[in-house]
Structure 1
Amino acid sequence: MAVTKVALVASMMACMLLTCSYSKSTLTCDQITIWLTPCIAYAVLGGNVSSLCCQGIYSLEAAKKTAEDRRGACQCIKDRAAYIPGIDYDRVNQIPGKCGTKCSYKLYPSTNCSAVQ
């Protein structure tokens, strides 16, 4: 059952790769999605954060060089997370810490990404 749910969520994320990118940022939403797809299992099911998820988090953090990058990443993640059934935003916000890094904002459906510095 859990494997089927993860496969469904991964399929949904693959479909979302076909949507538009955020042009204000030097990062594309497609790239962010690729980096963070390994984090979906933890965000939905809990358990352990995978090393691939942490690698994606490190890549994203290294790529966010400007405030526009941070705002674009925030909006991308927020928009795409809204389509993931069963996502637990408290778990989402735990991921950077579990990977030994920080995120400058907390991500929830109500997060105002345009205010991210």
Structure 2
Amino acid sequence: MKLAGCEVLAVMVVAVAAALFMVEPSEAIISCGEVNSLLIPCLNYVGGSVGSPSESCCNNVRYLKNRAPFPGDRRVVCQCIKDRAHQFQDPASITKKASEIPGLCHVNSVSVPDNPNFDCNRIQ
């Protein structure tokens, strides 16, 4: 009888632990520094120096997608890209080119704004 009680308790502990890992964290786990570092290989494409994103750019975009699994993380990625685009002369052109990268790299669910005025808070 005591063994059955221990088994039930063990199952409950495992269930609670699993539920904790499924909850979205209240704060993003990714930083703009990390986003900017990951997207460095994409600058030649965004700046128009090359006609398509490099393999390392695409690999980093895939990695970025995995690092930003929750809406809060995707909003941070979006805002970081917008902030970085505003450091260039033509932020509209930069965000437009950047928004093409996920499609060209066959990566979905990466929150790249297509214009510098996009409201990243709309990302769900």
Structure 2 length normalisation: TM-score?
Answer: 0.68
Query: Which residue in 1 is equivalent to 2:5?
Result: none
- 1:106 shift after superposition: 5.1
- Structure of higher RCO (CA pairs closer than 8 Å, 6+ residues apart): 1
Count of residue pairs brought into register by the alignment? 94
- 1:85 shift after superposition: 3.5
Q: What is the rounded CA distance, in whole Å, between the counterparts of 2:88 and 2:122 in structure 1?
A: 24
Q: CA RMSD in A?
A: 1.7
Query: Which residue in 2 is equivalent to 1:111?
Result: 118
State the percentage of identical aligned residues.
Answer: 30
2:28 is aligned with what amino acid?
S
Q: What is the rounded CA distance, in whole Å, between the counterparts of 1:97 and 1:40 in structure 2?
A: 16
Q: What is the rounded CA distance, in whole Å, between the counterparts of 1:86 and 1:112 in structure 2?
A: 18
Structure 1 length normalisation: TM-score?
Answer: 0.72
Query: Which residue in 2 is equivalent to 1:28?
Result: 31
The alignment partner of 2:89 has SS state of coil
Q: Aligned to 2:43, which of 40, 51, 58?
A: 40
Runs (4+) of structure 1 exceeding 3 A deviation are 103-106
Structure with max Cα Rg: 2
Q: What is the rounded CA distance, in whole Å, between the counterparts of 1:85 and 1:39 in structure 2?
A: 17
Deviations 1:44-69 (A, max 9, x none): 11412101110110111011121110
Stretches of structure 2 that go unaligned for 5 or more consecutive residues are: 1-26
Query: Which residue in 1 is equivalent to 2:100?
Result: 94
Query: Which residue in 1 is equivalent to 2:87?
Result: 83
Is this contact kept in 2: 1:44–1:86, CA < 8 A?
no
Stretches of structure 1 that go unaligned for 5 or more consecutive residues are: 1-23
C-alpha change, 1:43 and 1:29, in structure 2 (3 Å) is: same
